[in-house]
A and B are shown apart, each in its own frame.
Chain A
Amino acid sequence: MAITLFALSVLIAVLKKYRSLNELYLVIAASAILMRSFERSMVALTNVYEVLLLMAFLIALYNGLCRLKKIDPFHPVVLIIMSGSFYLPIVNQTVTEVSGALRTPLLPIHVMLTVLGIVLLMIAGVLSLKHLINPLGTKFGKIHKLAKVGYLLWISGALLLGMIYAELSWGRFWGWDVKETWSLLVTIYYGVYFHLFKIKNDKIRHIMLLVGFILIVFNLIGINYLFTGLHSYR
């Protein structure tokens, strides 16, 4: 699936059929998640590869919405990089079995909301970087709104539903696991950003969103590979 996705995305990019590339991503990423889900009789969101697939799907969806609203979508190179990332040797493409304690209906809701929040915060970070390079890009108000929605979804998915999920599975709401602690740090960071919204200097706000991007990517991927804990899915 990853090979197909990567090969087709490169081919379509070469042919400059960017619109088709986006649609292709929507279909293939969704099919990949569905196929893996049917294989295991549960929603396939259990390792980094599957999270990347969901992220690719969400970015393609965002691009589709941008096109509808006549806003500049992401350059297709982003999708090509994403499909290329599936090939990284650290990304495990095999189907991961999930332990009994984690097989609850809360798992897909927890992961999907969290990933959706992460994707929006990442998009806000990338748009901020674009804005820092070229200040004539997307208006700050829109970037801020994206970050806010992402932050709210992050809080509800990662923190609040995560707490309920942990309580049901492990008998405690919070365990100071590496990922849990880092997630709290990310939440506090964005909390500070929203409290400082009245800062008039756009540059500082863009830099803050960019730093947030780095924090959240490290939380999503880095923690899994550098530390061992209850959330070290790979």
Chain B
Amino acid sequence: MKLSLKLVHITLTLLILFILIGSVVNTSTELEIFEESKLELDGNQYEVSHIDQTRVELHSAHLNHIIEINHPLRMKHYGMFFRDYKETLTVTIAFEPFDIEYIGPVNRMIENEAFEIYIRDSYVTEQNQFSGVGVEIHKDGTLLDQKLYILNEKNEYGTLTAFNTVKSANIIIVENKFRLVIYTLILLSLIAVAAELYRAFKGWRPWL
């Protein structure tokens, strides 16, 4: 077996290893919030003014009905999933440290920029047999981004009537301690794959 293919296997093994270790050591702080509750995220105070089937409104002391993400958090992925939508429906919004370069549409939301979160149930795709809820990010009435978080742990497709009973939300602060290591390993694997592909196609002339 060629060296680059061995390298692909070594980096892949390390990747899986770090992902496995990460599932044990990564920190995940979960805060359950209720209407009119107050919460502190990395030193910033927020009040939960409203939770219902269409939106979760958080606001800080000086900004009304909007969420202000100011240092060092910003939304990474957000949305909600149903843990048990028949009894205790849980909304989950995930935040992540504002650390390394994240390329994505959320980049448009910069530090100290205020925006609103709307959670909508219009993204449910019965055809695919998973429940999903879309989250829209608005700023000054303009839709900036929309994403979906999906999960159906119970292999059930629930009607969203239970959605009307939303009374609390969970905010999860996830910190992946191995992100840099994992991205480095992915890059190394891709380089090794490219080297092996180059070797395989070297001298190949399909048109001759």
Contacts and interface: CB of A to CB of B under 8 A. Distances in A.
B148 to A, nearest CB: 4
Interface residues of B, number: 49
B19 A174 contact: yes
Interface stretch (B7-15, B37-45, B55-63, B159-167): B7-15
Given A101-B148, A170-B77, A171-B174, A228 B197 contact: no
Contacts, number: 105
Given A152-B197, A171-B77, A194-B1, A163 B186 contact: yes
B200 A145 contact: yes
A187 interface: yes
A101 B79 CA distance: 10
Given A160-B190, A171-B174, A233-B128, 14 more contacts: A96-B125, A99-B125, A101-B77, A101-B149, A156-B189, A159-B12, A163-B15, A168-B104, A171-B94, A173-B19, A173-B22, A228-B155, A229-B130, A230-B130
Contacts of B54: none
B207 A68 contact: yes
Q: Range of interface residues on chain A?
A: 35 or more
Interface in B49-92: 76-77, 79
A65 interface: yes
B-side interface mostly: mixed
Interface of A: 65, 68-69, 92, 96-97, 99-102, 104, 145, 148-149, 152-153, 155-156, 159-160, 163-164, 167-174, 184, 187, 191, 194-195, 197, 228-230, 232-234
